[in-house]
Structure 1
């Protein structure tokens, strides 16, 4: 089986939500000698982008986006374990989590899978994350972006709290600060608190993150 056929087969597994078969297909590619980095960049990444585009256009519902992200993540993590240390070098790092009081983590889990495949290493802190923990994790991991999610309108204020701590500790120029979650129907909250970017859609968030990395950090991600 040739390389292009293998790449197409892996992509097909993701866009058809083949969670049970993705690892075996990825292993097939590795046995054929295909570079695991190529498998990530040339099959998994375009596959999840295609699914994300379909979701953005309203062609598939959220559960299918979740299935696609879960399938891709299974293949991705398996491949990352096979890549020699130092060969796979993400171009940026992002800390993400749901703010204190918010117990929803579906969106950030999907983002983690999509962003990781795109070359942005994700530090997923999970849900109900204290404000200072975002900053501590960013400092420990030399992050470029801090992202906070708030699904509930009652927890949105915590996004402002996190940014306030970033400013208070003299770190505002060090980090790109992005916000998201279902609690914000527009960019008004982002503008009000002074965040760098906002989104409620994973593929839109990825494009905005790429643009901010390019403009503020000089980091180009294809």
Structure 2
């Protein structure tokens, strides 16, 4: 079946860091009327999760991780353009960033792509973003949610720092906060006072929508 083949090829394009193939698969999926969210969630994102797991086990290295992330971005740009042409009511605004000292943004990229499909406007600050910049941009863009990602145990404390800085500036009640990344847990979110923790991109979408509904 074309659908299953396309999802498999989307995954393989990420694993092989083949940007040309990824773009071709994304275009073919749209040409036969596949749901871009499904292609993103069940195709390209599967490949990215596998790459992340391989990196965690030391079976692939940082250059491959960064390259596969770039391939993912090229493919998702095509799918997101198709999603954005649909009449999706805007539900809120979310700022997202990988914390200072952390260069990993694959997981964050998946979250950004999936959150956008739900009518949530996303401001992606990229990686290695200091807490003060996150706060400054959150205020400047008047966002509803601040989401941060940390993949290293050495950078997870930046999420705690962000919560402390928001409180220090009297801004904690203005924003909902969400944390994610390999070393994060619900216990960590509770400890630092974050409003939500998401284990993966799919859960991040659910939690973001729940936070917006509750606000």
* TM bucket, shorter chain: 0.5 to 0.7
Q: After alignment, is 128-137 or 111-120 more displaced?
A: 111-120
| RMSD of aligned residue pairs (Cα, Å) | 3.8
Q: Render the CA deviation track for 1:78-107: whole Å, top value 9, x for unaligned.
A: 23346666746665543222333x1x222x
> Whose helix proportion is higher, 1 or 2?
2
Q: TM-score, normalised by structure 2?
A: 0.67
Q: Render the CA deviation track for 1:161-199: whole Å, top value 9, x for unaligned.
A: 3212323444433422123445x4654433222112345
Task: Could you tell me which runs of 5 or more consecutive residues in structure 2 were left unpaired when the two chains were aligned.
Answer: none
Distance 1:89 1:193, change over 3 A: same
Among 110, 113, 131, the residue aligned to 1:113 = 110
Distance 1:174 1:117, change over 3 A: same
Is residue 99–residue 149 contact of structure 2 (8 Å, CA) maintained in 1? yes
Residue number in structure 1 paired with 2:42: 46
Residue number in structure 2 paired with 1:216: 211
CA distance in 2, matches of 1:124, 1:189: 23
Deviation at 1:134, TM superposition (A): 1.0
Distance 1:90 1:115, change over 3 A: farther
> How many residues are aligned here?
200
Deviation at 1:216, TM superposition (A): 2.7
Q: Aligned to 1:177, what secondary structure does the other structure show?
A: strand
1:133 aligns with 2:133: yes
Q: After alignment, is 184-193 or 72-81 more displaced?
A: 184-193
CA distance in 1, matches of 2:27, 2:189: 43
Q: TM-score, normalised by structure 1?
A: 0.66
Q: Aligned to 2:95, what secondary structure does the other structure show?
A: strand
CA distance in 2, matches of 1:80, 1:53: 19
Distance 1:206 1:150, change over 3 A: closer
Is residue 16–residue 68 contact of structure 1 (8 Å, CA) maintained in 2? no
Residue number in structure 1 paired with 2:7: 11
